[in-house]
Amino acid sequence: MKVNRISLWSIDLTSHEPYYMAEGKTCDTVKTHVLCLDTDTGLKGWGEVCPIPHYLPAFADGIPSAITEMAGEILGVSPFGADAPMRKLDLHLQGHFHAKSIVDMALWDLFGKATKQPLYALLGGRTHADMPLYHSITCIAADDMARIAAEAFASGIRQFQVKLGVDTDWQADAERLIKVREAVGDGPLVYGDWNCGATKLQATRTGRAVSHLDIMLEQPCKTLEDCAAVRQATGLPMKIDEGAYDLATLMRAAELGVLDAVALKLSKFGGLSALRRARDVTVHLGAEICAECTWGSDIVTAAALHFAASTPQNALLNTCDLSSYVGPRIAPDCPTRRNGRIAPPEGPGLGVTPDLDRLGPPILELE
């Protein structure tokens, strides 16, 4: 079996409500790309990647050019094992991990379909019947954030990511955390996420103001060293997101004492092949894992769910159904949340089938 055709689509995804983060970062309408790798046997492998503007060094409009550059290394490849062709792509084109993640995902989908196995079986075996979801709350007025948290709690959600820093007001951020905690009561996990948008002083003042509560902080500052200073000053546990994107940064975060939890995102690391290695290191380091990606719809959600379902029991913090935050849905058979939890698809490979009518005509076709 060989890959003999590459097709790429671009789809605008719109958040169900505008999504605000620190430093003016927003998610309203963003561009996702969907990749299909056809083979000479008729099997199709699907991938998806959706960078958020201003969030990570990943440019959505550069993906077609990156796919074109890598096409010579993709066409003719056998999908039986993604690690080898992905290593070749790393030699051919350095960096651009978000563009590589869409290729890696499609190769894994083909591998699963060719072997008639769901991806969680190939990623280490299923360790979860279903997984806990967190609900991400846009950074708006504290009372409105508390209302969103209460609504999500009523649906079964027990983990809440509270976006902070949109107004660079540490007291407003403290109020957001306090009111969300009050809305969901004791027990559920509540963590405040600045997406690198706070100074050490702002984050420390916020953290100290809520240090009497059960709160975790997420990536307040741009550097791991500054995050470590905030953790030491507040005594609150820390989750790292943007600052962990390869094995070296995982090791550095652990060395600094800020790796209580970490977001392992497909597009940051370059796909499932690299994410498996990151998971092994993270488990060794004793941190808990949020298994997800940056943004996107049903295909990337399915990949994250398979990864989460194969993550060791005590190592999985949560996962995210990214496709529930946006429209349109592009694979109607993708699973949806139920009572605050979600299970991976059951079919071979990713287990989801995109609706070609919703995708429209491809923007790129290579043979």
Which residues form the catalytic set? Answer: 163, 265
**54, burial (CB in 10 Å: exposed 0-12, middle 13-18, buried 19+):** exposed
Which are the contacts of 348, defined by CB distance < 8 A and separation ≥ 6? 112, 113, 115, 116, 117, 118
Residue reference for tokens 């490849």? 77
Going through the chain in order, the beta strands assigned E by DSSP cover: 3-20, 26-39, 44-49, 131-132, 134-137, 159-163, 189-193, 216-218, 238-240, 261-265, 288-292, 316-319, 326-327, 341-342, 364-366
Distance linking the first and last C-alpha atoms of the chain: 15
242 in Cβ contact with 219 (< 8 Å): yes
| Ramachandran bin of 253, using left for φ above 0, alpha for ψ from -120 to 50, beta for the remaining angles | alpha
Which are the contacts of 341, defined by CB distance < 8 A and separation ≥ 6? 130, 131, 132, 133, 156
Report CA-CA distances (Å) from 125 to 63, 135, 277, 278, 298.
Answer: 31, 26, 15, 17, 22
Residue reference for tokens 């509540």? 190
Which are the contacts of 205, defined by CB distance < 8 A and separation ≥ 6? 170, 171, 174
**What φ, ψ does residue 77 adopt, rounded to 5°?**
-75, 145
| Bond from prior residue into 354 cis (ω within 30 degrees of 0) | no
27 in Cβ contact with 277 (< 8 Å): no
Residue 168: its H or E element: none
| Helix count and strand count (H, E) for the chain | 13, 15
341 in Cβ contact with 133 (< 8 Å): yes
